[in-house]
């Protein structure tokens, strides 16, 4: 999977895409006019009035979309390569785990590591106990 932005993205969209790619331990590609490959899965950050507003997952098999509102601002971060896991209530968290193609842990969050915690309309991206950013869905 590759993380990128739509064409001519705002600075906020690029910053969010880089932070998301770093958190998910995925490569970030500055797409420009480049087309997506047939055999690759792309997470494209879409925006509304210059603010990140969703992700479109494009692959040869299908297209999925996750709409959100970014809460706060993302910071530049360089995280160690580590694959996060998804935790939270099944009805909310399991589709998020499927969207990101990650392991779902159920209702209990691990004490250590990188976790995407899904609860009550929020998705929290947590690394070693520290919240990196939050999406309101």
Owning domain of residue 110: 85-136
Whether 129 is covered by a domain: the verdict is yes
Divide the 137 residues of the chain into consecutive groups of 10 and give the mean pLDDT of each group: 89 93 92 70 92 92 90 76 87 91 85 87 90 91
Q: Give the number of residues written for the chain.
A: 137
Whether 80 is covered by a domain: the verdict is no
Using an 8 Å Cβ cutoff, are 86 and 101 in contact?
A: no
Using an 8 Å Cβ cutoff, are 24 and 37 in contact?
A: no
Q: For the chain, how many structural domains are there in total?
A: 2
Strands (E), 25-119: 42-48, 51-58, 63-67, 69-71, 85-88, 114-119
What is residue 35's predicted lDDT score, i.e. its pLDDT? Answer: 67
Task: Answer yes or no: pTM beyond 0.85.
Answer: yes
């Amino acid at each position: 999977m590759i993380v990128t932005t739509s064409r001519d993205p705002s600075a906020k969209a690029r910053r969010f895409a880089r932070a998301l790619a770093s958190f998910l331990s995925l490569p970030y590609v500055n797409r420009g006019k480049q087309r997506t490959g047939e055999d690759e899965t792309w997470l494209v950050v879409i925006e509304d009035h210059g603010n990140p507003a969703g992700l479109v997952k494009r692959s040869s098999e299908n297209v999925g979309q996750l709409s959100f509102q970014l809460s706060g601002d993302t910071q530049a971060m360089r995280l160690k390569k580590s694959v996060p896991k998804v935790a939270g209530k099944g009805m909310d968290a399991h589709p998020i785990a499927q969207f990101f193609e990650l392991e779902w842990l159920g209702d209990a969050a691990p004490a250590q590591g990188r976790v995407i915690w899904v609860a009550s309309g929020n998705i929290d991206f947590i690394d070693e106990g520290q919240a990196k950013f939050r999406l309101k869905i």
